[in-house]
Amino acid sequence: MKGFAMLEIGKVGWIEKEAPTCGPLDAICKPLAISPCTSDVHTVWAGAIGDRHNMILGHEAVAEVVEIGSLVKEFKVGDRVIVPAITPDWGSLEAQAGYSMHSGGMLAGWKFSNFKDGVFGELFHVNEADANLALLPDGVDLASATMLCDMVPTGFHGVELADVQFGDTVAVIGIGPVGLMSVAGSALRGASHIYAVGSRPNCIQIAKEYGATDIINYREGDIVEQIMEKTHGKGLDRIVIAGGDVHTINQAIQMLKPGGKIGNVNYLGEGDYIDIPRVEWGCGMSHKTIAGGLMPGGRLRMEKLASLLETKKLDTSKLITHTFNSFDKVEEALFLMKDKPKDLIKPVVIL
C-alpha cells in the first residue's frame, strides 16, 4: 500500500509498504479524511522525537473500519470512526494510574507516526479498537470531525490542565488551531476575560468568535508587559500555553497570580531547559503550578467531545481554511502546515 512518510529527519516522500495486519483486539482502518499537524512538522523538520526512517506520518484521521479483530465487541466493518491521535494500551499500569497517554512509558500512548506507521497510508492499524475508536455521530461532517482527533482534545486538555473555573481571567498563548480550541474550551468553562496571544489576522478573528475578549500581539511588544497593563498589575488566574517556545513558560510565570495554574500543551521541540524565574515564582513559594500534558484519547472522552459538535455547542469548521479532495494532496497539506502562510489555520484532505 501507498503512504506518505518521513524518510529521515528533514525528508519526506511517498513510499510503498506491506498493508498492516489485524490482531484480535485491533482494527484496520481506511482513512476518509486526514489532517497534518504542527507536531508532524516538529517530528520531521525539528527532529523532535529523534530519527525515524520510512515511517508513515499523520495522527489525525476519520476513517472507515475495514477489518476487525475477533475479540472486538463494539465496532464492525463499515463503521465510520474518529481515531484519536493518542491510542494507549488501556491495561497498562500507567493507564490504571490515570495517565493512559503515558502507557508503556512517557508519551508512549502516542503511537501513530512515532512508534508505528501513522494514518497517512491507504490503510492503518489501531490497537485496542474498543477503547481507542469512537463512533462518528450522524450529521457531523468529515472535515469538522477530523478536528476531534487532536485539535479539540489537545486544546481542551490545556484548559483542563490550567483548571479554568467560572469567572477566571485566562490567557491562551498561541492561537493556532490548538490554542483556538483552548479559547473555545475556556469560554465553555466560564472564563471571564480571555486574553488570546497571537498575530495572524485570521486566527485573531476566529479567536474573538470563540470567545476571546482581548487580543495580545506578541510581535508588538513583550506579552508580560501587555498583560500586566491590561490586568492593572494583577496578572492572571490561569494560562494555557499552545504556542511559543521554552521561554514562554518563563513569561507565563511572570504574569500569573499566586496560586495560578499553567496548562502547557505546546510541544517544546527545541532548547534543553525551561527557566523558571526565581523571584516571580515566589522564591519557590508562590503556589504557581505548571502542568504539561499530552492529550488524552479514549472512546468515552472522544464520543463526549464529538457530542459537542452534534449539539452545536462547538463549531470546529471555523478552523479549516484549506480543503483538498484527493489522497495525493496530503503532501501539499503538510507543507502548508510547515510554511504556515498567513491565511492558514488548518488544512484537511478528504479522500
Q: Which residues make up the interface to ligand NDP (CB under 6 A)?
A: 37-39, 42, 150, 154, 173-179, 197-200, 203, 218, 242-245, 248, 265-267, 294-295, 340
Any idea which residue has 462518528 for its cell? 136
Dihedrals phi, psi of 194, to nearest 5 degrees: -125, 110
Establish if 179 lies at the interface with Zn ion (CB under 5 A): no
Instruction: State the minimum distance, in angstroms, from the CB of residue 267 to Zn ion.
Output: 8
Residues 246/271, Cβ–Cβ less than 8 Å: yes
Looking at beta carbons only, is 39 or 103 nearer to Zn ion? Answer: 39
Task: Give the separation between CA 348 and CA 26, rounded to whole angstroms.
Answer: 26
Looking at beta carbons only, is 114 or 248 nearer to Zn ion? Answer: 114
Instruction: State the minimum distance, in angstroms, from the CB of residue 311 to ligand NDP.
Output: 24
Looking at beta carbons only, is 205 or 307 nearer to ligand NDP? Answer: 205
Region label for 199, one of left (φ > 0), alpha (ψ between -120 and 50) or beta (otherwise): alpha
Residues 136/145, Cβ–Cβ less than 8 Å: yes
Position closest to Zn ion via CB: 37
Instruction: State the minimum distance, in angstroms, from the CB of residue 99 to ligand NDP.
Output: 13
**Residue 185 three-state SS:** helix
Looking at beta carbons only, is 137 or 292 nearer to ligand NDP? Answer: 292
Dihedrals phi, psi of 76, to nearest 5 degrees: -140, 165
Instruction: State the minimum distance, in angstroms, from the CB of residue 126 to ligand NDP.
Output: 18
What burial letters (b/e) apply to 319-344, b meaning 16+ CB within 10 Å?
Answer: bbbbebeebebbbebbebbeeeeeeb
Looking at beta carbons only, is 25 or 239 nearer to ligand NDP? Answer: 239
- Site map (CB under 5 A) of Zn ion, residues 31-60, x = contact: ------x-x---------------------
Establish if 114 lies at the interface with Zn ion (CB under 5 A): no
Residue 205: how many other CB atoms lie within 10 Å: 12
Q: Which of 89, 94, 150, 280 binds Zn ion (CB under 5 A)?
A: 150
Closest CA to 176 of 294, 46, 295, 343: 343
> How many chain residues interact with Zn ion (CB under 5 A)?
3
Binding site for Zn ion (CB under 5 A): 37, 39, 150
